[in-house]
Amino acid sequence: MCHHIGFGTPRNAQQVEYYLNICSKTKDDLRAALELIEDEKVFQPGKFLELWTGGSICPVEYPQHYRDHGQQDLAREEFARTIADFKITLGAQHFLVQNLKEIFADMLQDEGRFKEAAKLLSQACIERQRVSEAHPATLVVKSRLASVLEKQGKLTEAEHLASSVMATWKELLGWKHPQAILSLADLSSIFGKLRRWQEVEMLDRQVLESYTKMYGDEHPNTIMAKGNLASAMGALALENPRKLSEVEQMQIEVLNMSKRFIGPEHPNTLHSMSQLAGTQGEQQRWAEAEKLVRELVDISERTLGHEHPDNVTNLGDLATNLSHQQRWKEAEELLIPLQEISRRAYGTDHQEHMKLISNLAEVYRSQDKLVEAETLATEVLERRTDLLGPKHPDTIASMLSLATIYWFEGRLDDATEWFWDAVSVSVEVHGGKHPQTLRISHNLAVCLHGRGLRDDAVVLMKEVVTQRDDMGLDSTMSTQFLRRWSDEIE
């Protein structure tokens, strides 16, 4: 029917039969309706409305139909064709064309096709800004684009865009408006990727307070905000592990509320499960964390598919968990096929892809596959230095990883140089008492001892033990090294 009315829809006999059946019509009904159309290929709004309200036809959203039936490729083709048709009919700048692009971009984002989504949203932003920089529709599209840029790992661009959107919403509507609060949450998410946890906590507390007053404790937005705050507190608690149990209780509460009020398989619930597993891991409770991560993987495999970016991340987290339990072969078997899937899902420069490659390098090192480990670790360090800068926590972690590989290879001079560089940057970024700084210092002390610099090694390791004890961190391994060195002197 739409083909005859002039929407440009191609003929499809199979689909015609399907829709005639579901609306209890026959081919004779269709032919009778077509006879009412005077000129084929000319859109007649009045006639279309008459046929629709009379029950002779019903509008069909082909892209959504294909999506509902799991035919993602056909849905994408139909969206692209529909946008092209509307451009010809209405013009590239028409608001309906922009609406379609934004809906299509949301679909692509859900599938993890971030590059394509970003391209569409960038085009939509340009057209929206032609009308008004401060129009609500423009700001919404900018927020969507910032979210996609964040998922691509383009954090500087995402932060700039999200900050601009937040400031405009504040100016237009004030801090108490839902859109302004949402923009705070969006910016907080980007800060989290940048490891700026104090800023994250400050923003998350504002969001939680606003949502609690606006919606109450059991609203999905409030539950999500509480979960985000728990995540920020968990990251900050790494500097004070005594607070991790408090964070865990908060995360358990959020997870239970999310399962009850949002649903056990909702993305927010899955995110809460992931955060809780991470906190259990930070407390060295790897078996408990593994059980939770496997449950998470089962759900994401079923609901999202094996190659969806979120599922790839979950599988990577499972491999990390297995590595901490020294189950290297199982971790390797997970990570090797994930390399290519991750590259397709995220791209080679995305933080999640680099995290997965870095984990594989650690698994190789732990199995004495040092050539493979060095190759991957060098690649990750170069990419992170270029993309994130030399002082980003992930870059420091890569410096530590490469130094450790040099150490295992017996290249103690190279290892010492990298350990010194890593600890210097870590002290500047985190401070001398941060767990990452103490971990690097421990390795540096062992390396110095291996080079025969025993006095320097003992002084540094004693400082590590003191700081770990003061912070409530496990100092068992560092203490064992000190005792062994003392026995050697005796």
pLDDT at position 359 is 94
The arithmetic mean of pLDDT across residues 328-352, rounded, is 87
Better-scored residue on pLDDT, 68 or 299: 299
Poorest-pLDDT segment among 101-115, 218-232, 284-298: 101-115
pLDDT at position 76 is 75
The arithmetic mean of pLDDT across residues 378-398, rounded, is 87
pLDDT at position 334 is 94
Is the pLDDT assigned to residue 52 strictly greater than 60? no
pLDDT digits (tens, 9 = 90+) for 159-175: 999 999 999 988 888 88
Three-state SS letters, the chain:
CHHHHCCCCCCCHHHHHHHHHHCCCCHHHHHHHHHCCCCCCCCCHHHHHHHHHCCCCCCCCHHHHHHHCCCHHHHHHHHHHHHHHHHHHHCCCCHHHHHHHHHHHHHHHHCCCHHHHHHHHHHHHHHHHHHCCCCHHHHHHHHHHHHHHHHHCCHHHHHHHHHHHHHHHHHHHCCCCHHHHHHHHHHHHHHHHCCCHHHHHHHHHHHHHHHHHHHCCCCHHHHHHHHHHHHHHHHHHCCCHHHHHHHHHHHHHHHHHHHHHCCCCCHHHHHHHHHHHHHHHHCCCHHHHHHHHHHHHHHHHHHCCCCCHHHHHHHHHHHHHHHHCCCHHHHHHHHHHHHHHHHHHHCCCCHHHHHHHHHHHHHHHHCCCHHHHHHHHHHHHHHHHHHHCCCCHHHHHHHHHHHHHHHHCCCHHHHHHHHHHHHHHHHHHHCCCCHHHHHHHHHHHHHHHHCCCHHHHHHHHHHHHHHHHHHCCCCHHHHHHHHHHHHHHC
* 365: confidence class by pLDDT, cuts 50, 70, 90: very high
Better-scored residue on pLDDT, 46 or 251: 251
Poorest-pLDDT segment among 85-89, 360-364, 394-398: 85-89
* 33: confidence class by pLDDT, cuts 50, 70, 90: low
Most confident of 116-130, 213-227, 366-380, 476-490: 366-380
The arithmetic mean of pLDDT across residues 236-252, rounded, is 80
pLDDT at position 59 is 47
pLDDT digits (tens, 9 = 90+) for 82-123: 778 777 777 777 777 777 788 888 777 776 677 788 888 898
Most confident of 33-42, 50-59, 464-473: 464-473
The percentage of the chain sitting over the pLDDT mark of 90, rounded to a whole number, equals 34
pLDDT at position 49 is 54
pLDDT at position 71 is 60
* 40: confidence class by pLDDT, cuts 50, 70, 90: very low
